[in-house]
Amino acid sequence: MPNPLDLTRVVAMAAAQTVIESGHLERRLSELVALRTESQNPAQAAVLKQYLSEMMRPMLLEMGFDVGLHENPVAQAPPLLLASRVENSDLPTILIYGHGDVTHGQDNQWDAGLSPFAAKAIDGLIYGRGTADNKGQHLINLMALKTLIELRGSLGFNVKVLIEMAEETGSPGLAEFCAAQRDALAADVLIASDGPRLMPEVPTMFMGSRGAVNFDLEVRLRNRAHHSGNWGGLLADPATILVQALASLTDARGQIKIAEWRPSSLTPDIRAALARLPTETGGDEVIDPNWGEVGLTSNERVFGWNSFAVLAMKSGVPDAPVNAISGHASATCQLRFVVGTDADGIVPSLRRHLDRKGFHQVHIIATDKVAFQATRVNPDNPWVNFVASSLEHSTQSAPHILPNLAGSLPNHCFSEILNLPTIWIPHSYRGCAQHAPNEHMPIALLHQAFSAMVGLYWDLGETKGPNTTVATAPSNKTAN
Protein backbone atom coordinates (compact mmCIF):
# COMPACT_ATOMS: atom_id res chain seq x y z
CA MET A 1 0.00 0.00 0.00
CA PRO A 2 1.36 3.48 -0.80
CA ASN A 3 2.54 5.66 2.07
CA PRO A 4 -0.62 7.58 3.14
CA LEU A 5 1.46 10.75 3.32
CA ASP A 6 2.20 10.44 -0.39
CA LEU A 7 -1.37 9.91 -1.53
CA THR A 8 -3.20 12.52 -3.59
CA ARG A 9 -6.73 12.84 -4.90
CA VAL A 10 -5.54 11.60 -8.29
CA VAL A 11 -4.32 8.38 -6.66
CA ALA A 12 -7.68 7.95 -4.94
CA MET A 13 -9.57 8.44 -8.20
CA ALA A 14 -7.26 5.97 -9.91
CA ALA A 15 -8.11 3.44 -7.20
CA ALA A 16 -11.80 4.04 -7.93
CA GLN A 17 -11.17 3.38 -11.61
CA THR A 18 -9.42 0.11 -10.75
CA VAL A 19 -12.49 -1.04 -8.83
CA ILE A 20 -14.71 -0.07 -11.75
CA GLU A 21 -12.61 -1.99 -14.27
CA SER A 22 -12.59 -5.07 -12.04
CA GLY A 23 -16.37 -5.45 -12.35
CA HIS A 24 -16.64 -5.86 -8.58
CA LEU A 25 -19.41 -3.28 -8.28
CA GLU A 26 -21.66 -5.18 -10.67
CA ARG A 27 -20.91 -8.55 -9.05
CA ARG A 28 -21.63 -7.24 -5.56
CA LEU A 29 -24.85 -5.60 -6.75
CA SER A 30 -25.97 -8.90 -8.25
CA GLU A 31 -25.53 -10.58 -4.87
CA LEU A 32 -27.68 -7.96 -3.16
CA VAL A 33 -30.40 -8.07 -5.82
CA ALA A 34 -30.67 -11.86 -5.50
CA LEU A 35 -32.24 -11.55 -2.05
CA ARG A 36 -36.01 -11.16 -2.35
CA THR A 37 -36.34 -8.38 0.22
CA GLU A 38 -39.98 -7.43 -0.42
CA SER A 39 -41.05 -5.61 2.74
CA GLN A 40 -44.67 -5.55 1.53
CA ASN A 41 -44.69 -9.36 1.56
CA PRO A 42 -44.95 -10.79 5.11
CA ALA A 43 -43.56 -14.11 3.87
CA GLN A 44 -40.17 -12.45 3.30
CA ALA A 45 -39.56 -11.37 6.91
CA ALA A 46 -36.64 -13.76 7.34
CA VAL A 47 -35.02 -12.52 4.12
CA LEU A 48 -35.18 -8.92 5.34
CA LYS A 49 -33.11 -9.87 8.38
CA GLN A 50 -30.82 -12.00 6.19
CA TYR A 51 -29.94 -8.94 4.09
CA LEU A 52 -28.63 -7.17 7.18
CA SER A 53 -26.92 -10.14 8.82
CA GLU A 54 -25.39 -11.83 5.75
CA MET A 55 -24.85 -8.94 3.32
CA MET A 56 -24.37 -5.70 5.22
CA ARG A 57 -22.86 -6.87 8.50
CA PRO A 58 -19.86 -8.82 7.05
CA MET A 59 -19.04 -6.01 4.65
CA LEU A 60 -19.04 -3.39 7.39
CA LEU A 61 -17.08 -5.57 9.82
CA GLU A 62 -14.41 -6.01 7.17
CA MET A 63 -14.20 -2.21 6.94
CA GLY A 64 -13.56 -1.84 10.66
CA PHE A 65 -17.07 -0.88 11.77
CA ASP A 66 -18.72 -1.85 15.01
CA VAL A 67 -22.00 -3.38 13.86
CA GLY A 68 -25.23 -4.01 15.73
CA LEU A 69 -28.59 -5.42 14.62
CA HIS A 70 -31.50 -3.93 16.54
CA GLU A 71 -35.07 -5.01 17.01
CA ASN A 72 -37.58 -2.59 15.53
CA PRO A 73 -39.46 -0.51 18.13
CA VAL A 74 -42.66 -1.34 16.23
CA ALA A 75 -43.88 -4.88 16.78
CA GLN A 76 -43.57 -7.19 13.76
CA ALA A 77 -41.55 -4.60 11.80
CA PRO A 78 -38.14 -5.72 10.46
CA PRO A 79 -34.86 -5.03 12.30
CA LEU A 80 -32.44 -2.18 11.70
CA LEU A 81 -28.66 -2.14 11.38
CA LEU A 82 -26.54 0.52 13.05
CA ALA A 83 -22.79 0.55 12.48
CA SER A 84 -20.07 3.03 13.43
CA ARG A 85 -16.42 3.60 12.61
CA VAL A 86 -14.91 6.25 14.89
CA GLU A 87 -11.33 7.16 14.00
CA ASN A 88 -11.06 10.18 16.28
CA SER A 89 -13.71 11.98 18.29
CA ASP A 90 -12.34 15.32 17.11
CA LEU A 91 -13.03 14.47 13.45
CA PRO A 92 -16.32 15.24 11.70
CA THR A 93 -18.90 12.47 11.61
CA ILE A 94 -21.22 11.68 8.71
CA LEU A 95 -24.34 9.54 8.90
CA ILE A 96 -25.13 7.32 5.91
CA TYR A 97 -28.64 5.89 5.47
CA GLY A 98 -30.00 3.28 3.11
CA HIS A 99 -32.82 0.77 2.84
CA GLY A 100 -32.41 -2.81 1.70
CA ASP A 101 -36.09 -3.56 1.21
CA VAL A 102 -37.78 -3.34 -2.18
CA THR A 103 -41.29 -3.23 -3.58
CA HIS A 104 -43.07 -6.30 -4.97
CA GLY A 105 -41.08 -8.02 -7.70
CA GLN A 106 -43.98 -8.09 -10.20
CA ASP A 107 -42.24 -11.11 -11.67
CA ASN A 108 -44.66 -11.83 -14.50
CA GLN A 109 -44.57 -8.28 -15.87
CA TRP A 110 -40.86 -8.02 -16.69
CA ASP A 111 -39.65 -8.29 -20.28
CA ALA A 112 -38.70 -11.69 -21.64
CA GLY A 113 -35.34 -12.84 -20.33
CA LEU A 114 -35.48 -10.58 -17.27
CA SER A 115 -36.29 -11.49 -13.67
CA PRO A 116 -36.55 -9.05 -10.75
CA PHE A 117 -34.21 -10.99 -8.46
CA ALA A 118 -31.57 -12.04 -10.96
CA ALA A 119 -29.49 -9.04 -12.02
CA LYS A 120 -28.73 -8.95 -15.74
CA ALA A 121 -26.74 -6.46 -17.82
CA ILE A 122 -28.09 -5.60 -21.28
CA ASP A 123 -27.06 -2.70 -23.52
CA GLY A 124 -25.43 -0.70 -20.75
CA LEU A 125 -28.16 -1.24 -18.15
CA ILE A 126 -28.25 -3.55 -15.12
CA TYR A 127 -31.77 -4.84 -14.57
CA GLY A 128 -33.08 -6.08 -11.24
CA ARG A 129 -35.31 -5.06 -8.36
CA GLY A 130 -33.31 -2.79 -6.07
CA THR A 131 -30.62 -1.83 -8.57
CA ALA A 132 -31.90 1.75 -8.39
CA ASP A 133 -34.04 1.70 -5.24
CA ASN A 134 -32.06 1.38 -3.03
CA LYS A 135 -29.52 -1.46 -2.97
CA GLY A 136 -27.40 -0.05 -5.76
CA GLN A 137 -27.35 3.40 -4.18
CA HIS A 138 -26.15 2.49 -0.69
CA LEU A 139 -23.76 -0.10 -2.17
CA ILE A 140 -22.03 2.70 -4.12
CA ASN A 141 -21.50 4.68 -0.93
CA LEU A 142 -20.26 1.75 1.13
CA MET A 143 -17.94 0.54 -1.62
CA ALA A 144 -16.49 4.06 -1.93
CA LEU A 145 -15.69 4.01 1.79
CA LYS A 146 -14.14 0.56 1.44
CA THR A 147 -11.95 1.70 -1.45
CA LEU A 148 -10.42 4.54 0.56
CA ILE A 149 -9.96 2.44 3.70
CA GLU A 150 -8.08 -0.18 1.69
CA LEU A 151 -6.04 2.51 -0.07
CA ARG A 152 -4.76 4.48 2.90
CA GLY A 153 -5.91 2.61 5.98
CA SER A 154 -8.16 5.40 7.23
CA LEU A 155 -10.84 7.82 6.13
CA GLY A 156 -9.93 10.97 8.02
CA PHE A 157 -13.48 11.27 9.37
CA ASN A 158 -15.98 9.19 11.33
CA VAL A 159 -18.91 7.32 9.81
CA LYS A 160 -22.17 5.93 11.10
CA VAL A 161 -24.36 3.73 8.91
CA LEU A 162 -28.09 3.12 9.39
CA ILE A 163 -29.80 0.55 7.17
CA GLU A 164 -33.51 -0.17 7.51
CA MET A 165 -35.67 -2.80 5.83
CA ALA A 166 -39.13 -1.18 5.78
CA GLU A 167 -38.88 2.05 3.79
CA GLU A 168 -41.26 0.75 1.14
CA THR A 169 -43.94 0.31 3.82
CA GLY A 170 -43.49 3.77 5.33
CA SER A 171 -40.43 3.16 7.56
CA PRO A 172 -42.36 1.93 10.62
CA GLY A 173 -40.21 2.27 13.74
CA LEU A 174 -37.51 4.42 12.13
CA ALA A 175 -38.57 7.64 13.86
CA GLU A 176 -38.86 5.88 17.21
CA PHE A 177 -35.47 4.24 16.71
CA CYS A 178 -33.79 7.55 15.85
CA ALA A 179 -35.34 9.19 18.90
CA ALA A 180 -34.17 6.38 21.19
CA GLN A 181 -30.68 6.25 19.63
CA ARG A 182 -29.95 9.98 19.38
CA ASP A 183 -26.54 9.64 21.02
CA ALA A 184 -25.52 6.62 18.95
CA LEU A 185 -26.62 8.41 15.77
CA ALA A 186 -25.09 11.79 16.62
CA ALA A 187 -23.31 13.24 13.59
CA ASP A 188 -22.48 16.50 11.85
CA VAL A 189 -24.42 15.80 8.66
CA LEU A 190 -26.45 13.13 6.86
CA ILE A 191 -25.04 12.34 3.42
CA ALA A 192 -27.19 9.62 1.87
CA SER A 193 -28.48 8.46 -1.48
CA ASP A 194 -31.99 7.73 -2.74
CA GLY A 195 -34.29 9.00 -5.44
CA PRO A 196 -33.34 10.02 -9.01
CA ARG A 197 -31.07 12.54 -10.63
CA LEU A 198 -32.72 15.11 -12.84
CA MET A 199 -30.49 14.07 -15.74
CA PRO A 200 -28.59 10.76 -15.94
CA GLU A 201 -25.21 12.33 -16.70
CA VAL A 202 -25.24 15.15 -14.12
CA PRO A 203 -25.13 14.75 -10.32
CA THR A 204 -28.13 15.98 -8.34
CA MET A 205 -28.40 17.10 -4.73
CA PHE A 206 -31.50 17.70 -2.65
CA MET A 207 -31.94 18.67 0.98
CA GLY A 208 -35.42 17.41 1.77
CA SER A 209 -38.45 15.75 0.26
CA ARG A 210 -42.15 16.11 -0.33
CA GLY A 211 -44.33 14.44 2.23
CA ALA A 212 -46.93 11.81 1.40
CA VAL A 213 -50.26 10.87 2.90
CA ASN A 214 -52.21 7.91 1.54
CA PHE A 215 -55.86 7.32 2.30
CA ASP A 216 -58.81 5.30 1.05
CA LEU A 217 -62.16 6.76 0.10
CA GLU A 218 -64.99 4.26 0.38
CA VAL A 219 -68.71 4.26 -0.33
CA ARG A 220 -70.41 1.22 1.14
CA LEU A 221 -74.20 1.26 0.67
CA ARG A 222 -75.20 -2.41 0.85
CA ASN A 223 -73.69 -5.86 1.34
CA ARG A 224 -74.29 -7.24 -2.15
CA ALA A 225 -74.79 -6.25 -5.77
CA HIS A 226 -78.24 -5.93 -7.37
CA HIS A 227 -79.32 -6.57 -10.95
CA SER A 228 -78.88 -3.37 -12.95
CA GLY A 229 -82.06 -3.95 -14.96
CA ASN A 230 -84.37 -4.67 -12.06
CA TRP A 231 -82.86 -2.06 -9.78
CA GLY A 232 -81.30 0.52 -12.09
CA GLY A 233 -82.73 3.97 -11.34
CA LEU A 234 -83.92 2.84 -7.90
CA LEU A 235 -80.64 2.15 -6.10
CA ALA A 236 -77.81 4.63 -5.67
CA ASP A 237 -74.58 3.59 -7.41
CA PRO A 238 -71.60 3.73 -5.01
CA ALA A 239 -69.14 4.10 -7.90
CA THR A 240 -70.98 7.13 -9.30
CA ILE A 241 -71.01 8.78 -5.89
CA LEU A 242 -67.32 8.04 -5.41
CA VAL A 243 -66.17 9.41 -8.76
CA GLN A 244 -68.23 12.56 -8.20
CA ALA A 245 -66.53 13.00 -4.84
CA LEU A 246 -63.11 12.44 -6.38
CA ALA A 247 -63.89 14.93 -9.15
CA SER A 248 -64.62 17.59 -6.51
CA LEU A 249 -61.03 17.43 -5.20
CA THR A 250 -59.43 18.81 -8.37
CA ASP A 251 -60.51 20.41 -11.59
CA ALA A 252 -60.20 18.71 -14.99
CA ARG A 253 -56.48 19.45 -15.23
CA GLY A 254 -55.64 18.27 -11.71
CA GLN A 255 -55.52 21.62 -9.94
CA ILE A 256 -56.24 21.11 -6.25
CA LYS A 257 -59.52 22.68 -5.07
CA ILE A 258 -59.17 22.19 -1.30
CA ALA A 259 -57.70 25.43 0.02
CA GLU A 260 -55.84 23.74 2.88
CA TRP A 261 -54.05 21.48 0.37
CA ARG A 262 -52.51 24.44 -1.47
CA PRO A 263 -49.06 25.25 -0.02
CA SER A 264 -47.70 28.62 1.06
CA SER A 265 -44.00 27.90 0.56
CA LEU A 266 -43.38 28.57 -3.14
CA THR A 267 -41.49 31.73 -2.29
CA PRO A 268 -39.40 33.85 -4.68
CA ASP A 269 -36.13 32.28 -3.50
CA ILE A 270 -37.47 28.76 -4.09
CA ARG A 271 -38.78 29.76 -7.51
CA ALA A 272 -35.40 31.26 -8.37
CA ALA A 273 -33.63 28.03 -7.37
CA LEU A 274 -36.04 25.93 -9.45
CA ALA A 275 -35.64 28.23 -12.45
CA ARG A 276 -31.99 27.19 -12.69
CA LEU A 277 -32.88 23.52 -13.20
CA PRO A 278 -33.37 21.74 -16.54
CA THR A 279 -36.90 20.86 -17.58
CA GLU A 280 -36.07 17.68 -19.50
CA THR A 281 -37.20 14.38 -17.95
CA GLY A 282 -34.05 12.47 -18.82
CA GLY A 283 -36.04 9.60 -20.31
CA ASP A 284 -38.75 8.71 -22.83
CA GLU A 285 -41.57 10.21 -20.76
CA VAL A 286 -43.19 13.38 -22.05
CA ILE A 287 -44.60 15.94 -19.60
CA ASP A 288 -48.28 16.77 -20.13
CA PRO A 289 -48.20 20.55 -20.71
CA ASN A 290 -51.85 21.11 -19.76
CA TRP A 291 -51.78 19.24 -16.47
CA GLY A 292 -51.26 20.68 -13.01
CA GLU A 293 -51.34 24.13 -11.49
CA VAL A 294 -51.75 26.95 -14.02
CA GLY A 295 -49.01 29.56 -13.91
CA LEU A 296 -46.30 27.25 -12.58
CA THR A 297 -43.36 25.80 -14.46
CA SER A 298 -42.98 22.03 -14.61
CA ASN A 299 -40.25 22.14 -11.94
CA GLU A 300 -42.41 24.29 -9.68
CA ARG A 301 -45.26 21.82 -9.99
CA VAL A 302 -43.18 18.80 -9.03
CA PHE A 303 -40.72 20.28 -6.52
CA GLY A 304 -42.58 23.28 -5.11
CA TRP A 305 -46.26 22.34 -5.14
CA ASN A 306 -48.68 19.65 -3.97
CA SER A 307 -50.15 16.95 -6.18
CA PHE A 308 -53.13 14.64 -5.75
CA ALA A 309 -53.37 11.21 -7.39
CA VAL A 310 -55.82 8.32 -7.45
CA LEU A 311 -53.58 5.27 -7.14
CA ALA A 312 -56.24 2.60 -7.54
CA MET A 313 -60.02 2.22 -7.82
CA LYS A 314 -62.43 -0.65 -7.54
CA SER A 315 -66.14 -1.32 -7.90
CA GLY A 316 -67.75 -4.55 -8.91
CA VAL A 317 -65.53 -7.18 -10.53
CA PRO A 318 -63.23 -5.33 -12.98
CA ASP A 319 -61.87 -8.51 -14.58
CA ALA A 320 -65.31 -10.00 -15.16
CA PRO A 321 -68.02 -7.30 -15.17
CA VAL A 322 -71.64 -8.35 -14.71
CA ASN A 323 -74.91 -6.47 -15.14
CA ALA A 324 -75.21 -5.44 -11.51
CA ILE A 325 -75.00 -2.33 -9.36
CA SER A 326 -72.21 -2.95 -6.89
CA GLY A 327 -72.85 -2.47 -3.19
CA HIS A 328 -69.61 -0.60 -2.60
CA ALA A 329 -66.77 1.25 -4.29
CA SER A 330 -63.34 2.33 -3.10
CA ALA A 331 -60.31 4.30 -4.20
CA THR A 332 -56.80 4.54 -2.80
CA CYS A 333 -55.58 8.12 -3.02
CA GLN A 334 -52.44 10.08 -2.23
CA LEU A 335 -51.44 13.65 -1.59
CA ARG A 336 -47.78 14.54 -2.12
CA PHE A 337 -47.11 17.77 -0.25
CA VAL A 338 -44.31 20.25 0.32
CA VAL A 339 -43.27 22.28 3.34
CA GLY A 340 -45.93 24.92 3.96
CA THR A 341 -48.75 22.38 4.16
CA ASP A 342 -50.33 21.49 7.50
CA ALA A 343 -49.75 17.74 7.46
CA ASP A 344 -52.01 17.11 10.43
CA GLY A 345 -54.80 19.02 8.73
CA ILE A 346 -54.83 17.13 5.43
CA VAL A 347 -57.38 14.47 6.35
CA PRO A 348 -59.61 16.72 8.51
CA SER A 349 -59.79 19.32 5.74
CA LEU A 350 -60.75 16.56 3.30
CA ARG A 351 -63.61 15.53 5.60
CA ARG A 352 -64.86 19.11 5.81
CA HIS A 353 -64.68 19.47 2.04
CA LEU A 354 -66.64 16.28 1.37
CA ASP A 355 -69.29 17.26 3.89
CA ARG A 356 -69.66 20.72 2.34
CA LYS A 357 -70.19 19.08 -1.03
CA GLY A 358 -72.81 16.70 0.36
CA PHE A 359 -70.70 13.55 0.16
CA HIS A 360 -71.49 12.34 3.66
CA GLN A 361 -71.60 8.73 2.41
CA VAL A 362 -67.93 8.84 1.46
CA HIS A 363 -65.82 7.45 4.29
CA ILE A 364 -62.13 8.27 4.74
CA ILE A 365 -59.85 5.47 5.88
CA ALA A 366 -56.41 6.87 6.71
CA THR A 367 -55.06 4.45 9.32
CA ASP A 368 -52.02 2.25 8.63
CA LYS A 369 -51.19 4.18 5.46
CA VAL A 370 -47.79 5.28 4.21
CA ALA A 371 -47.03 8.76 5.56
CA PHE A 372 -43.83 10.81 5.30
CA GLN A 373 -43.42 14.38 6.46
CA ALA A 374 -42.31 17.19 4.17
CA THR A 375 -38.83 18.59 4.85
CA ARG A 376 -36.54 21.19 3.37
CA VAL A 377 -33.10 22.27 4.62
CA ASN A 378 -31.67 25.70 3.77
CA PRO A 379 -29.61 25.28 0.57
CA ASP A 380 -27.14 27.89 1.87
CA ASN A 381 -25.88 25.44 4.50
CA PRO A 382 -22.04 25.20 4.27
CA TRP A 383 -22.25 21.43 3.83
CA VAL A 384 -24.26 21.96 0.64
CA ASN A 385 -21.53 24.11 -0.87
CA PHE A 386 -18.83 21.66 0.22
CA VAL A 387 -20.55 18.63 -1.34
CA ALA A 388 -21.47 20.51 -4.52
CA SER A 389 -17.86 21.64 -5.00
CA SER A 390 -16.55 18.11 -4.56
CA LEU A 391 -19.07 16.59 -6.98
CA GLU A 392 -18.20 19.19 -9.59
CA HIS A 393 -14.50 18.47 -9.11
CA SER A 394 -15.03 14.76 -9.76
CA THR A 395 -17.51 14.95 -12.63
CA GLN A 396 -16.70 18.39 -14.10
CA SER A 397 -20.45 19.05 -14.05
CA ALA A 398 -22.04 21.44 -11.58
CA PRO A 399 -24.70 19.42 -9.74
CA HIS A 400 -28.36 20.26 -9.99
CA ILE A 401 -29.42 21.46 -6.53
CA LEU A 402 -33.06 20.97 -5.54
CA PRO A 403 -34.78 22.38 -2.45
CA ASN A 404 -36.43 18.99 -2.02
CA LEU A 405 -37.09 15.73 -3.80
CA ALA A 406 -40.41 15.38 -5.59
CA GLY A 407 -40.86 11.95 -4.02
CA SER A 408 -40.96 11.12 -0.33
CA LEU A 409 -38.34 9.87 2.11
CA PRO A 410 -38.11 9.51 5.90
CA ASN A 411 -35.91 12.62 5.94
CA HIS A 412 -37.71 14.07 8.96
CA CYS A 413 -36.10 11.35 11.08
CA PHE A 414 -32.75 12.99 10.39
CA SER A 415 -33.57 16.67 9.91
CA GLU A 416 -36.11 16.96 12.73
CA ILE A 417 -35.42 14.17 15.23
CA LEU A 418 -31.62 14.13 14.92
CA ASN A 419 -31.44 17.82 13.97
CA LEU A 420 -28.96 17.24 11.15
CA PRO A 421 -28.39 19.08 7.89
CA THR A 422 -29.43 16.50 5.29
CA ILE A 423 -27.85 16.14 1.88
CA TRP A 424 -29.06 13.50 -0.54
CA ILE A 425 -26.98 12.55 -3.58
CA PRO A 426 -29.15 10.27 -5.74
CA HIS A 427 -27.47 7.59 -7.83
CA SER A 428 -30.36 6.85 -10.17
CA TYR A 429 -32.41 8.69 -12.78
CA ARG A 430 -36.10 9.32 -13.46
CA GLY A 431 -36.36 6.65 -16.15
CA CYS A 432 -35.08 3.82 -13.92
CA ALA A 433 -38.53 2.16 -13.57
CA GLN A 434 -38.33 1.95 -9.77
CA HIS A 435 -41.47 0.34 -8.30
CA ALA A 436 -42.25 -0.97 -11.80
CA PRO A 437 -41.22 -3.88 -14.03
CA ASN A 438 -37.75 -3.66 -15.59
CA GLU A 439 -36.15 -1.57 -12.84
CA HIS A 440 -32.56 -0.85 -13.82
CA MET A 441 -29.36 1.11 -13.18
CA PRO A 442 -27.30 2.53 -16.07
CA ILE A 443 -23.78 1.13 -15.78
CA ALA A 444 -22.28 4.50 -16.75
CA LEU A 445 -24.20 6.17 -13.93
CA LEU A 446 -23.12 3.45 -11.48
CA HIS A 447 -19.48 4.06 -12.35
CA GLN A 448 -19.65 7.85 -12.36
CA ALA A 449 -21.50 7.94 -9.03
CA PHE A 450 -18.96 5.58 -7.46
CA SER A 451 -16.03 7.74 -8.56
CA ALA A 452 -17.81 10.88 -7.37
CA MET A 453 -18.38 9.39 -3.91
CA VAL A 454 -14.74 8.29 -3.66
CA GLY A 455 -13.83 11.89 -4.49
CA LEU A 456 -16.28 13.29 -1.92
CA TYR A 457 -15.01 11.05 0.85
CA TRP A 458 -11.41 11.86 -0.11
CA ASP A 459 -12.13 15.60 0.07
CA LEU A 460 -13.84 15.19 3.43
CA GLY A 461 -10.92 13.24 4.81
CA GLU A 462 -8.45 15.84 3.56
CA THR A 463 -10.29 19.04 4.49
CA LYS A 464 -12.37 17.82 7.46
CA GLY A 465 -15.51 19.48 6.17
CA PRO A 466 -16.90 22.74 4.83
CA ASN A 467 -14.60 25.08 6.71
CA THR A 468 -12.08 24.76 3.88
CA THR A 469 -12.51 24.88 0.11
CA VAL A 470 -12.18 21.91 -2.20
CA ALA A 471 -9.63 22.58 -4.93
CA THR A 472 -10.86 23.66 -8.34
CA ALA A 473 -11.09 20.84 -10.85
CA PRO A 474 -8.02 20.53 -13.08
CA SER A 475 -8.31 20.87 -16.82
CA ASN A 476 -7.83 17.14 -17.44
CA LYS A 477 -10.50 14.83 -16.05
CA THR A 478 -9.51 12.67 -13.10
CA ALA A 479 -12.78 10.73 -12.94
CA ASN A 480 -14.98 9.42 -15.72
Average pLDDT estimate for 275-287? 74
| Active-site residue set | 101, 167
pLDDT band per the 50, 70, 90 thresholds, residue 468: very low
CATH architecture of 211-276+290-372: 2-Layer Sandwich (3.30)
Answer yes or no: is pLDDT of 285 > 90.
no
pTM of the model: 0.88
For 65-117, what is each residue's pLDDT tens digit?
A: 999 999 999 999 999 999 999 999 999 999 999 999 999 999 999 999 999 99
Cα separation, 55 vs 66, whole angstroms: 15
Name the band, by pLDDT with cuts 50, 70 and 90, for residue 156: very high
Q: Per-residue pLDDT for 58 more than 50?
A: yes
Choices 3.40.630.30, 3.40.630.10, 3.30.390.50, 3.30.70.3270: CATH for 4-209+374-463:
3.40.630.10
Residue 287 binned pLDDT confidence (cut-offs 50, 70, 90): confident
pLDDT at 6: 60
CATH 3.30.70.360 residue window(s) in the chain: 211-276+290-372
Q: Is the pLDDT of residue 480 over 70?
A: no
What mean pLDDT comes out for the span 122-151? 98
pLDDT of residue 378: 78
Tell me the pLDDT tens digit for each residue of 296-314.
999 999 999 999 999 999 9
Q: What tens digit of pLDDT does each residue of 178-227 get?
A: 999 999 999 999 999 999 999 999 999 999 999 999 999 999 999 999 99
Average pLDDT (279-297) is: 81
> Confidence band (pLDDT; 50, 70, 90) for 369?
low
pLDDT in tens, 228-237: 999 999 999 9
* Confidence category of residue 282, pLDDT binned at 50, 70, 90: low
C-alpha distances in Å from residue 187, one per residue of 5, 237, 357:
27, 56, 49
Question: Range(s) for CATH 3.40.630.10 in the chain?
Answer: 4-209+374-463
pLDDT at 283: 55
